[in-house]
Structure 1
Amino acid sequence: MSAIANLLVIAVVVVVVVQRQMRVQRLDTERRFWLLPLILGALALRDPQIIDHQHTGLSAALLAAGLVTVLAMGSIWGWTVRLWRDTDGAVLAKGTKATMAAWGGMIAVRVGLYGIGSALHVHQSGSSLMLGMAVMLLVRSLVVNWRARMLDPAPTTAVLH
């Protein structure tokens, strides 16, 4: 995919994900939360320009640093989501101000890594951003789903005869 198409996909995913995160939503821990990250990751890894072949070492190091960063940010993001059970026992989730701060931090770190790459004259593909988004979404979902499973079970009501 072209760089513009990659950035468009990333922008759409960010808008959809942030919008959904800031609303109360029923969390289904059985759904295929890994599907969107898998699709984004596959699209990103198809790009032969994900590594700058003129600066292979630096490019790979920047990509690795970006992936380690999004692993951490995905974990942080997963812990900032508020989880609770409703009266029916369903798990509800909603992003918080800390969730928005995590997004801001992730964007600042990505801009910093891009700036370092630019200063070192390393070409950086939009596919590396897409791969980072895939990893971050996957880690965030893993953390939120794990936290949801750790919540106290829904209270049961006794049936009186």
Structure 2
Amino acid sequence: MSGLVNALLIVAVAAIVILRQFRARAINTDRRWWLIPVILAVLALREPGILDVNHHAESAVLLAVELFIGVATGVGWAWTTRIWTEPDGVVWTKSTKASIAVWIVGITLRIGVYAVGAVLGLHQDSSALMCALAATLLVRGGILVWRAQSLDTASRPAPAYGDGMRSVRRERA
């Protein structure tokens, strides 16, 4: 895929995922929550331009930093997401204002990584960003499923960092 198609795919997936997470949604722990991140990672890793051919070591370090930022964003996003069980046993989730802060920090750090690469004269392909997005989604999904499975049906809402524990109106899609 071309860089433009990759960039559009990244923006589309990120927008859809982020917007959906700020509405109360039921979690289905049996669903294949890992499928989209795996597909994104496969698409990213099959591209030959993930590393700069003239600067293998430097671009590998930047890729590792990008992946670390992706994992950290996923962890932060998962732990700032409110998760609760309704009386009928359905587990619900909704991102909080703290989740927005996690995304802002993650995007800012990614811009910084891109700027460092530009200063070093490295060719930076969008597949590194797609791989980091896959890591973010995979880690977040795994932690949320784990948190959802650890709740029992009689438990009260599990607090998220920055959550004022206000009542959240359910929205059904």
Shorter-normalised TM range: over 0.9
2-side partners of 1:25 and 1:107: how far apart? 24
- Aligned with 2:101: secondary structure? helix
Provide, for residues 116-145 of structure 1, a one-character-per-residue CA deviation record: whole Å limited to 9, x for no partner.
000000111000000000011000001111
RMSD, aligned CA = 1.0
Compare 134-143 and 64-73 and name the one that shifted more: 64-73
The answer for the alignment partner of 1:112 in structure 2 is 112
- Aligned with 1:92: secondary structure? strand
Shift of 1:27: 0.4
- Aligned with 1:30: secondary structure? coil
2-side partners of 1:24 and 1:4: how far apart? 32
Shift of 1:73: 1.3
The answer for the alignment partner of 1:23 in structure 2 is 23
The answer for the alignment partner of 1:41 in structure 2 is 41
Report if aligned partners of 1:70, 1:136 keep a CA contact under 8 Å in 2: yes
For 1:129, the aligned partner's letter is L
Whether 1:70 and 2:70 are equivalent positions in the alignment is yes
Report if aligned partners of 2:86, 2:153 keep a CA contact under 8 Å in 1: no
2-side partners of 1:31 and 1:154: how far apart? 22
5+ residue gaps, structure 2: 156-173
Provide, for residues 100-123 of structure 1, a one-character-per-residue CA deviation record: whole Å limited to 9, x for no partner.
111111100100000000000011
Shift of 1:63: 0.1
For 2:20, the aligned partner's letter is R
- Aligned with 2:83: secondary structure? strand
5+ residue gaps, structure 1: 156-161
Report if aligned partners of 2:26, 2:93 keep a CA contact under 8 Å in 1: yes
2-side partners of 1:15 and 1:141: how far apart? 16
Report if aligned partners of 1:88, 1:154 keep a CA contact under 8 Å in 2: no
2-side partners of 1:86 and 1:57: how far apart? 50
Shift of 1:69: 1.6
Shift of 1:154: 3.5
2-side partners of 1:148 and 1:42: how far apart? 27
Q: How many residues get paired?
A: 155
Aligned counterparts, 1:80-159, within 5 A: 80-154=80-154
Report if aligned partners of 1:63, 1:128 keep a CA contact under 8 Å in 2: yes
Shift of 1:152: 2.9
- Aligned with 1:84: secondary structure? strand
Report if aligned partners of 1:78, 1:140 keep a CA contact under 8 Å in 2: yes
In proportion to residue count, which structure has more helix?
Answer: 1
- Aligned with 1:65: secondary structure? helix
Runs of 4 or more consecutive aligned structure 1 residues displaced over 2 Å after TM superposition: 152-155
TM-score normalized by the length of structure 2: 0.87
- Aligned with 2:76: secondary structure? helix
